[in-house]
Structure 1
C-alpha cells in the first residue's frame, strides 16, 4: 500500500510538472505574438480618418470612382464623395493610389496566430477557417473583442466524418442522433459553420443537414464519397470545396468535358451554393513532384513549424515515392490540374458563384501568399481581372449572411480595405504588396506588414502548436 501511495504521489507530481511546463510554453508563445495585440490608445490603430485623392474600386460594379474621398468612422465606411468635410480627423493622402476591398480567403487552416499577420501582410482581411479546434474559438473571441489585430475570423467546428476511421483529426460519428447533438453543440459553443467531410454516411449526412437547418447554421461541404456528389447541393450547404472532388468523385478521374457539363449545369441550378475550387493546393502536389528541394525553400519558413515537420514532409514523401514508382504520375497530376482550370472556366460560364479559397496552412500551401497564385489560376481560366477580384471580395461576402458587411466599398460596410499602388483591374500582382491594409478601420502600413512576415518566418513554436493540437485530440475526440 505504501509503495502504491508513493507511486501515486510520483505520478501526480509528474502531472503537475507537465501542467506547469505546458503553461509556461503556451505563455511564452503568447508573449511572442504580443505584436498583434491592440493598444486602443495608439494612433496606429485609430479607426476614424479621411482617405483623400484615391481611386475607388467598389466591386459592386465594374467601375472606378476616380479621385474620391472616403471617410472611415469607427471602423465603418461612412461617406464616399468628391469632397468631404471631416474636422479633427487624421488625413491619409492616398496620392492617386487605388482603394479596393480587402481580400477574403474562404478556405484556410490556421495553426497559430503568427499566420494572422501573414494573411494581413498579403491583403487578406477575412478568413474562413475550415478545421475547427478549441484554439480557434479563442482566436475568434479575441478578434471579435478587438484584443488582437487580425483578419475577421470565422471558423467551422471539427470536421464531421462517418463511421469509417479516416484520421485522428476527424470526428467519427456513429449514428444520426450523435450527429445532431454535435451540430447543436458546435452552434452553442460559437463555431460559425459546420464542416461535413470525406467518409460521411448518407444517414448521418442527412441528420447533419436536418439539424443544421433547425439550428440555423450554414454547412461547408468537402464532398463525401459515400453519397452522390450532387447530394451536396442541399439548401443548407452554402459552399462545396475543391475542384478535384468533381474529378475524383463525379468523373472517376475521367477528364472528359462532355461528362463534366451536366455536373456544372446541376451546380449552376443551385443558386444558394458557391463553389470554392482551391486550385493552388492541388497544384502544389505537382510542385512537390517537380521540385525535390521544395521543403528546403525559403518560402516554407512561413509554414507553421509543426506542420512543416510532419504534414509538409509527409505529403512530400508521398508524392516523391509516387513518382519514383510511376514516373508518368507527374504528367497525370499536371493534366488533372489543367482540367481543374477547365472546371473553373465552366463554372464561371454557367454563372456559379465562385469563391476564392486556397487550402492554406497544410502541405506546402503558404498562409496569405497562396491567395495570389489562386487568383492567377482564375485569370488563366478566362476570368477578367474584375471577375477574378470578385471571387475574393463580393462573391465571398454573398456566401454567408454573417459576411454580408464585407466584400465591397459602400457606405455602411466594414472598412476592410487595401490601398495599392496600381490598378488591380489591369495588374493583379499589385495586390501582393499593398501600401496599407485596413482591417475594421485600423490602418497597417507596409513597414508593419513586413514586420509581421519577419515575425512569422522566425517563429519557434513547434511544441506550443503540438500542445494545442493535443488539446483538440483530447477534448474533441
Structure 2
C-alpha cells in the first residue's frame, strides 16, 4: 500500500511539473507577441485622423475619387469631401497616393498571434478563420476589448462532419440531435459561423441548417458527397469553399465546360450564396511537385513551425509519392488548376459573388502573402482589376451581415484601409506594399509592418502551438 501511495505521489508530482512547464511555455510565447498589445492611454487618440490630398478607390463603384479628404473618428469614417475642417487631430498628407479598403481573406487557418501581424503586413485587415478552436475565441475577445492590434477576426466553430469521417481536425456528429446541440453550443460560446464538411448525411445536414437558422448563424460549407450539390445552395449557407469541390462532386472529375456551365447556372440562381475558389492552395500541389527543395525554402519560414513540421511535410511527401508512382499526376494537377481558372471566369460572367480566400496556414500556403497570389489568379482568369479587388473587399463584406461595415470606403464604414503608391485599378501589385495600413482606425507605417513580418519569420513556438492544439482536442472532442 505504501509503495502504491508513493507511486501515486510521484505520478501527481510529475503531472504537476508537466502542467507547470506547459503554462510557462504558453506564457513565454504570449510575451513574444507583446508587440501587438495596445497601450490603453492611446486606445482612442490614435484612431482619429484627417487624411488630405488622397485619391480614393471606394470599391462601391468602379471609379477614382480624385483629391479628396477623409475624416476618421474613433475608427469610423465620418466624412469624405473636397474640404473638411476639423481641429485637434493628426493630419496625414497622402501626397496624391491612393486609399483603398483593406483586404479580406475569407478562408484562413490561424495558428498563432504572430500571424496577425503577418496578415497586416500584407494589407489583410480582416479575415474569416474557418477552423475554430478555443484560442480563436480568446484572440477575438482581446480584439473586441481593444487589447491587441489585429485584423478584424471572424471565426467558425470546429468543422462538423459525419460519424465515420476520419481526422482529429473534424468534429464527428452521430445524430441530428447532436448536430443541433453543437450549433447551439458554438453560438453560446462566441463562434461567429458554422462550418460543415464532407461526410454529413442528409438528416444531420438538414439538422445543422435548421438549427443554424434558429440560432441565426451563417454556414460556411465544404460540400458533402452524401448530399446533393444543389442542397448546398441553401439561403443559410452563405459560401461554398474551393473550386475543386465543383470538380470532385457534381462533375465527378470530368473537366467538361458544358457540364460546368450547368453547375454555374445553378449557383448563380442562388443569390445568397457566395463562392470562395481558393485557387492558391490547390496550385500549391503543383508547386510542391515541381520543387523538390520547397520544404527548405526561405518562404516557409513564415509558416507556423508545428504546421511546417507536420502538415507541410506530410503534404509534400504525399504529392512527391504520387508523382513517383504516376508521372502523369503533375500534368493532371496542372490541367485541373487551369480548369479552376475557367470556373472563376464563368462564375464571374454569371454574376456569382466571388470571395477571395486562400486556405492560408496549412500545407505550404503562406499567411498574408498568399492572398496576392490568389488575386493574381483571378486576374489570370480574365477578371478586370476592379473585379479582382471586389473579391477581397466589397464582395467579402456582403457575404455575412456582421461584415457589412467593411469592404468599401463610405461614411459610417470601419476604417480598415490601405494607402498605396499607385492606382490598383491599373497596377494591382501596388496592393502588396502598402505605405500605411489602417486597422479599425489605427495607423501602421511601413516600418511597423516590416517589424511584424520579421517577428513572424522563423518563430520558435512549436511546443506552444502543440499545447494549444492539444487543448482544442480536449475541449472540442
TM-score (norm 1): 0.99
Instruction: Name 1:115's counterpart in structure 2.
Output: 115
Instruction: Name 1:96's counterpart in structure 2.
Output: 96
For the 8 Å contact 2:45–2:74, the answer to whether it is kept is: no
Instruction: Name 2:191's counterpart in structure 1.
Output: 191
1:392-407 → structure 2 map (5 Å cutoff): 392-407=392-407
State the alpha-carbon separation in 2 of the partners of residues 275 and 165 from structure 1. 24
State the alpha-carbon separation in 1 of the partners of residues 95 and 21 from structure 2. 52
- CA displacement 1:158-197 (0-9 Å, x = unmatched): 0000011320111011111000000000000000000000
- CA displacement 1:400-451 (0-9 Å, x = unmatched): 0000000000000000000000000001100000000000000000000000
State the alpha-carbon separation in 2 of the partners of residues 294 and 194 from structure 1. 34
Q: Please report how far the alpha carbon of residue 126 of structure 1 lies from its aligned counterpart in structure 2 after TM superposition.
A: 0.2
The total of aligned residue pairs comes to 477
State the alpha-carbon separation in 2 of the partners of residues 105 and 448 from structure 1. 21
State the alpha-carbon separation in 2 of the partners of residues 87 and 437 from structure 1. 23
State the alpha-carbon separation in 1 of the partners of residues 208 and 194 from structure 2. 9
1:118-197 → structure 2 map (5 Å cutoff): 118-197=118-197
Instruction: Name 2:442's counterpart in structure 1.
Output: 442
1:322-337 → structure 2 map (5 Å cutoff): 322-337=322-337
Q: Please report how far the alpha carbon of residue 41 of structure 1 lies from its aligned counterpart in structure 2 after TM superposition.
A: 2.6
State the alpha-carbon separation in 1 of the partners of residues 100 and 402 from structure 2. 20
Secondary structure (helix, strand or coil) at the match of 1:281 reads: helix
State the alpha-carbon separation in 2 of the partners of residues 237 and 43 from structure 1. 36
Q: Does 1:424 align with 2:439?
A: no
Gaps of 5+ in 1: none
Instruction: Name 1:261's counterpart in structure 2.
Output: 261
- CA displacement 1:357-380 (0-9 Å, x = unmatched): 000000000000000010001111
Q: Does 1:361 align with 2:387?
A: no
- CA displacement 1:85-141 (0-9 Å, x = unmatched): 111110111111000000000000000000000100000000000000000000111
For the 8 Å contact 1:166–1:199, the answer to whether it is kept is: no
Secondary structure (helix, strand or coil) at the match of 1:315 reads: helix
Instruction: Name 2:36's counterpart in structure 1.
Output: 36
1:6-405 → structure 2 map (5 Å cutoff): 6-42=6-42, 46-405=46-405
Q: 1:225 to 1:9 in 2, by over 3 A?
A: same
For the 8 Å contact 1:49–1:92, the answer to whether it is kept is: yes
Instruction: Name 1:464's counterpart in structure 2.
Output: 464
Secondary structure (helix, strand or coil) at the match of 1:307 reads: helix
- CA displacement 1:191-246 (0-9 Å, x = unmatched): 00000001111111110000000111000001111111111101100000000010
Q: 1:114 to 1:45 in 2, by over 3 A?
A: farther
Gaps of 5+ in 2: none
State the alpha-carbon separation in 2 of the partners of residues 346 and 224 from structure 1. 23
- CA displacement 1:320-366 (0-9 Å, x = unmatched): 00001101100000000000000000100100000000000000000
For the 8 Å contact 1:45–1:442, the answer to whether it is kept is: no
For the 8 Å contact 2:341–2:378, the answer to whether it is kept is: yes
For the 8 Å contact 2:44–2:74, the answer to whether it is kept is: no
Q: Please report how far the alpha carbon of residue 43 of structure 1 lies from its aligned counterpart in structure 2 after TM superposition.
A: 9.1
For the 8 Å contact 2:184–2:215, the answer to whether it is kept is: yes
State the alpha-carbon separation in 2 of the partners of residues 345 and 157 from structure 1. 31
For the 8 Å contact 1:184–1:211, the answer to whether it is kept is: yes
State the alpha-carbon separation in 2 of the partners of residues 45 and 39 from structure 1. 11
Q: 1:370 to 1:254 in 2, by over 3 A?
A: same
State the alpha-carbon separation in 1 of the partners of residues 113 and 273 from structure 2. 30
Secondary structure (helix, strand or coil) at the match of 1:319 reads: helix
195-204 or 442-451, larger mean C-alpha shift: 195-204
State the alpha-carbon separation in 1 of the partners of residues 165 and 387 from structure 2. 40
State the alpha-carbon separation in 2 of the partners of residues 165 and 261 from structure 1. 31
Q: Please report how far the alpha carbon of residue 14 of structure 1 lies from its aligned counterpart in structure 2 after TM superposition.
A: 1.0
For the 8 Å contact 2:100–2:418, the answer to whether it is kept is: yes
For the 8 Å contact 1:44–1:444, the answer to whether it is kept is: no
Secondary structure (helix, strand or coil) at the match of 1:354 reads: coil
State the alpha-carbon separation in 2 of the partners of residues 145 and 226 from structure 1. 42
For the 8 Å contact 2:59–2:390, the answer to whether it is kept is: yes
For the 8 Å contact 1:72–1:415, the answer to whether it is kept is: yes
For the 8 Å contact 2:43–2:146, the answer to whether it is kept is: no
- CA displacement 1:304-326 (0-9 Å, x = unmatched): 00000000000000000000110
TM-score (norm 2): 0.99
For the 8 Å contact 1:59–1:409, the answer to whether it is kept is: yes
